[in-house]
Amino acid sequence: MQFFSKLFFFFCLPGIICHFPLHSEPKIIFTQHPTESYSDFSPWNLLKPETLSFDHILDFVEMIENTDKLEEIFTEQQIEEIEKFLVFLMRNGIRDWDTEAKEQLEEDIAWMKGEPNNSSLAYEYEDSEEEELAYLMSDFNGYRDVIMLPAVYNTKKPQVVLCKGKLKKFSKNFKRAIRKHKKEIIIAAVVVVVATVVIIATAGTAAPEAVIASGAAMMAASDSNEKDHEKPRSPVNKPGEVWEQNDYPQIQSQNSPSQNVPSIDSHIEEAPKISPPMREIIQQTTYEIKEDLSESIPDRDFFPTQDEPSLLTAAVDKARETGSHIAHEVYNAVTDQLSVISDIAGAFTEKLPEVIKDKTPFEKDSRESFQEMVEAGHKRIDTVFETDQSHIYSTEGKEVRDKLTIGMLPPPGSIGNNIKQSSKFYEKNINHIFRQKPGHLPDTPTNRKLLLEVAGNPNNFLGIDKHGNSWHAKIQKDGT
């Protein structure tokens, strides 16, 4: 019975190719123009399989960070959804054990929503009163005969409050928080894209909304109790209104999203069940991504101002290559396990009588169809991350890579253990090549990329010497 259930699962896998074309949608370009182009926009749509892209997510974040007036482009409901989406990324870009970073982020999120606290953002921008006044006066479009009268709380400790629009103030705070936590956003973008790609590879013909739900639900552990822990927001005084500190009216929650703007909550409710092995794989993969990128990407506070653009570009490139490599490794490990079922199905088909064999649903041998599906999946990962690593996982590329890694296999065990062991073993052998000794390459991102491109392409393979070393060569454009 178990065999036939696995066989049935294998027969469903070709649906991946049909359901998720490799280039189903053109690249999304975010601009600061026409509001109409964003009338039905939801940030959660960036996680849909047909438009899933690491660069799409980061382009959107950059657009939000650099747009002057979000309230003129998006509706209030959309801005709330954008807030939830980016807070979701910020929270899931922090390592699970780093409680100090989590507490600091929560303070920044509270400050972003208008709650006074000890956030470093509050101290960083506490001397910006002139900037705030100029920001307010800009709305009067050149009128000079204007008197600004602040609202004053009638309490023992008077507090002066500038009467400005809620969305405008939130927009500025929001962009400051994005700038500070760009590292966490980059890491979480890798995590959620890898998780979604893995689920696409195993969910088969699941609806796009279900795939979004699964990927987001796996990453949303820290967001699950967000509503329970949210403090009530202090309302902003409108012109002509003065309230005492204890006399604010109770404001009803506006968390329910409109039908046109889906939220993570509605998606998670529709999420299909994820098998324990797959959940273990994604959790282990998430852990490795966060650990790797948290160590290799510096905090933005330490970026020299003049070098910030180039350092951010380097951080994104590092995240892109790391995410693509790990996604390829996870997909490769999963399909290696499923290839056993493919071999059994192929052998089973060969034993069928010719009359029955001609009526099977496959025009090709099941093993050939399975291999085509695997290669298409690796190309899909390259499309999502805009990398060029899929050739390493082709049949020829695997043969070369096996020779490069001394031909050893990871120890037997569960799928999750195989992924963990094979990934670490591959890194171990790569690190053996990059050593501070004569004849070895220095360990730099450029050299690592060069090694993967040269040694991973079977066309560059020259042969094996008497010591068992593989030799590869590639002619550069300059003739070297």
CA distance 381 to 385: 6
Give me the number of domains the chain comprises. 1
pLDDT score, position 309: 75
Read off φ and ψ for residue 461, nearest 5 degrees.
-75, 125
Residue 96 lies in a domain: yes
CA distance 53 to 69: 26
Residue 92 lies in a domain: yes
Cβ-Cβ contacts under 8 Å for 441 (sequence gap 6 or more): 433, 434, 447, 451
Residue 388 lies in a domain: no
CA distance 198 to 271: 15
Residue 214 lies in a domain: yes
Residue 279 lies in a domain: no
Range of the domain at 175: 19-136+143-242+261-274
Contact 254, 188 (CB under 8 A): no
Backbone dihedral region for residue 406 (phi beyond 0: left; psi -120 to 50: alpha; all else: beta) = left
What's the pTM? Answer: 0.62
Residue 112 lies in a domain: yes
CA 68 to chain CA centroid, nearest Å = 25
Residue 325 lies in a domain: no
Give the pairing of strands 160-161 and 461-464. unpaired
pLDDT score, position 382: 92
CA distance 282 to 279: 5
CA 274 to chain CA centroid, nearest Å = 19
Contact 268, 220 (CB under 8 A): yes
pLDDT score, position 245: 41
pLDDT score, position 467: 54
Contact 284, 420 (CB under 8 A): yes
pLDDT score, position 435: 52
The C-alpha angle with vertex 417 and arms to 414 and 374, in degrees rounded to 5, equals 80
Residue 295 lies in a domain: no
pLDDT score, position 334: 80
Calculate the alpha carbon distances from 467 to 206, 402, 406, 437, 460 in Å: 50, 16, 11, 19, 19
Q: pLDDT tens digits, the chain, 480 residues: what are they?
A: 444 444 444 445 444 444 444 344 444 555 544 455 677 889 988 888 778 899 999 999 999 988 877 888 888 899 889 999 999 999 999 998 999 999 999 999 988 887 877 777 776 655 454 455 444 444 444 444 444 444 444 444 444 444 445 556 667 788 888 988 999 999 999 998 998 887 776 554 344 444 444 445 555 544 444 444 444 444 444 444 444 444 434 433 344 333 444 444 444 444 445 667 777 888 888 899 999 999 888 877 655 566 677 888 888 999 999 999 999 888 888 887 776 555 554 554 454 444 444 444 444 556 677 788 888 888 889 999 999 988 888 877 776 666 554 433 344 444 444 444 444 434 444 555 555 555 556 666 666 667 667 766 666 666 665 555 666 676 666 655
Contact 161, 293 (CB under 8 A): no
